Amino acid sequence: MELDVRTNELFMEILNHPNETSGSLGKRLGLTRAQINYSFKKLNEYLADLQLEAIHRTPNGHFVVPRTVNEQFNDLHQRKQIDIYLAPEERMYLITLMLLSKTDFLSMNHFIVELNVSKNTVVRDLKELGGLLAKQGFKLEYLRSKGYRIKATEWQRRQLLLETINQIYLFDTDGTLLLQFADINEASLAKYQAKVEAVEQSLNIRYSDNKIKNLPVFTLLLHRRVKRKKTIRYDVELDFSELQETQEYNVIKEIFFDGALATADFNDVIYFTLLFLSTNLTQMDILSAKELRQLELAVTKVIQNFEKIAHMTIVDKEGLLQRVMIHMRPAYYRIKYQMHLNEVDIERQKNMGVSSVFYLVKQSLEPLEQFFSKQLPETEIFYLALFFGGHLLEHESVLAKEERKTAIIVCTNGISVSLMLERNLTGLFPEIDFIATLSAREFYEKNIEAEYVFSSVPLETDKRFYLVKDFLTDEGKLQLRKQVMNDTLVGMDDFALAEKIVKKVKKNTKVLDEEALFLDVLNVLKENVAKNEKIKDHVIHFDQLIPSKSILIEENQVTWHEALDALSQPLISEKIITPQYLTALKQEMAEIPPYMIFRNRLALPHTEPEKGALGVAMSFGIFKEGFLTETDERIHIVVLLASNDKEKHIDALLELMDLSGRDDYISKLVECQTAAQAYKILHSYRINYWG
């Protein structure tokens, strides 16, 4: 077994700097935690092959190098680069690249020589690859006259080629292997990099960083296929006249189909046009074409539907419309011509805190579905949800600027993923002002002043730097928050502080009712925060809006109006609502309105602020016997919302929307016997939601 470049570099650093932690090594080498873990695993497999002991990591991240390993490699002159080792899945991507990019006959010997592995290894890889391709409707075949090839339509081959390039860049970040196995020299690649930059300049647009890396390689290999007369035929009905009228068509034809390629098949020019039209952008001007104007009207109606379904007024609807339209310009061609985004992204959405907004957006999409005359793919809905969620959670902090830290977010994967990352980080760190979200190129060009930088890629900067993943898991959020809190000392939330106070009290006196003391301390902390004028408009979470006396657990069967009575009384006592608010609720809601039930699990009754809302708060009811809805579903959670401000409750509303879809939390809540138990579950949910 051999070591790849990254693993070998990590090995040398561990041997030469045994006291350094994995965290500091990662920052210095520009590696993520996942990359270090992957290389560390491969390193120990390499040592096992040499019958040497494994290197261990301590809980605080230090490396423990066995004496036998140090003795084996104590001559630093012998610590040199070793031939590249590739995992089986990495070899299959490179074989696919060879099949789709090279122009000569490919036999098994070609793969053996290029990959530097045995015949048996190549046989296994080809068998595995054949099975994977078959699942996608392709066929890997061998012809004596043509060698190995992938049997599929040209459209399918090109889509597979693009996906293969994207996957290879995940483990071959500098592109060395990609150029080697696609037989591309750097001079040729530089020409296509210049062509992509010329498209940017001509159209006055900026492609995301990862597209700038992928597009030159992909277009070069596409031209190679065009020259070999691998002309594309379309499986979908295209509106050729519409595409020819776009500015992109003329620019692409001039830049990519000049000289010897001027007589290229019209279908190939169209394909290149579609490619650039469907590529995510970081910024662009919306054109005034008739079709795009109709699309804008459809998006406007979607925003209006969202407001109605979510029971909220969106601030700066025009700003949201323009941001969505920047996304919808390339999405229009993806949806219309079935050039969909990779479906893997939607599989991650449950871990990103956007499922509630996803649910609301999906319910609001009828105007867009009418526009396209088809349902939108879930991946496209997911990215729309990122825009809505990001917009709703952008609150201007009223803390004095000099008292707050500022940060920049750098993301290389386009505006949709950037918005998602921005949304996660602003929710995760309400103590920090995130003043800009940039691509890597913009970061170096603009040099914006800020104390912190959160980036999805390694950067050269003298600011305090945090490397984050585009898609943060719940565990990742918790770890990142702990790291930043430890570094910046910006504070502790009410819940954690209340628990700490209760533990201190228990050490010095006898506590008869720990749960009651915990809730009383928590309420005191909340009241103190509420009176602090500097942070009165701070991001408010739903558990912070529920006073301990407003958590109701009812064992017996009650009527709907009895439930409203019980939930209203604590808010009336706290002067959050007037008795007239309860009267209005009863008049408007003889039964549970269907539009106030989320996922058949949670009801959220409320009415207009002018009918008696004096503040912002919630009363949380757990009804063991439950209530039947019009669809014969039984709900057990009813949350009475009062808000005299159409913005302050938005964060809480989104959290409750998501909570309604979490069966594990709903089940735990229904089983609660005390208010303290319920509150702890609600707080635990919120912490996992935001990290």
12 has pLDDT over 50? yes
Please tell me which of 26-35, 121-130, 458-467 the model is most confident about, judged by mean pLDDT.
Answer: 121-130
Looking at the DSSP bridge assignments, the partners of residue 438 are 410
Amino acid (one-letter) located at 196:
V
pLDDT at 661 over 60: yes
Q: Give the list of residues 6+ apart from residue 71 with CB closer than 8 angstroms, or none.
A: none
Express each pLDDT in 561-580 by its tens digit: 999 999 999 999 989 999 99
Q: Residue written as tokens 């995510």? A: 280
Tell me what pLDDT residue 56 has.
85
Within a 10 A sphere around the Cβ of 127, how many other Cβ atoms? 10
Cut 0.75: pTM above it: no
Q: Which tens digits make up the pLDDT trace of 519-543?
A: 777 766 655 444 333 333 445 678 8
- Among the residue ranges 30-44, 217-231, 383-397, 565-579, the one predicted with the least confidence is 383-397
| pLDDT (mean) for 655-676 | 87
pLDDT of 455 over the 60 cut: yes
Q: Give the closest residue to 93 by CA, choosing from 178, 197, 151.
A: 178
* CA–CA distance, 337 with 345 (Å, rounded to integer): 20
Per this entry, what is the length of the chain? 691
| Each residue's pLDDT tens digit, 129-180 | 999 999 888 899 998 888 899 998 888 888 899 889 988 887 887 788 899 8
| Cα distances (Å, whole numbers) of residue 302 to 21, 310, 362, 647, 657 | 50, 12, 10, 19, 18
Question: In this structure, are strands 617-628 and 551-554 parallel, antiparallel, or unpaired?
Answer: parallel
Cα 565 to Cα 580: distance, rounded to the nearest angstrom: 12
Tell whether the model's pLDDT for residue 512 goes beyond 90.
no
Q: Who's near 527: CB < 8 A, 6+ residues apart?
A: none
**Minimum mean pLDDT among 67-81, 167-181, 310-324: which range?**
67-81
Helix residue spans in 464-618 (DSSP H):
474-488, 494-508, 514-531, 560-573, 579-588
Per-residue pLDDT, 140: 93
**How far is it, in rounded angstroms, from Cα 142 to Cα 519?**
71
CA 321 from chain centre, in angstroms, equals 21
Mean per-residue pLDDT over the chain, rounded: 79
Instruction: Compare 213 and 76 and report the one with higher pLDDT.
Output: 213
- The answer to whether residue 337 scores a pLDDT higher than 80 is no
Residue 533 burial (CB < 10 Å; 0-12/13-18/19+)?
exposed
Q: Which whole number is the average pLDDT over 14-30?
A: 75
Is a pLDDT exceeding 50 seen at residue 75?
no
Q: pLDDT over 70 for what percent of the chain?
A: 81
Average pLDDT score over residue span 170-191: 87
Looking at residue 338, its pLDDT comes to: 61
- Residue whose token pair is 């919306």: 286
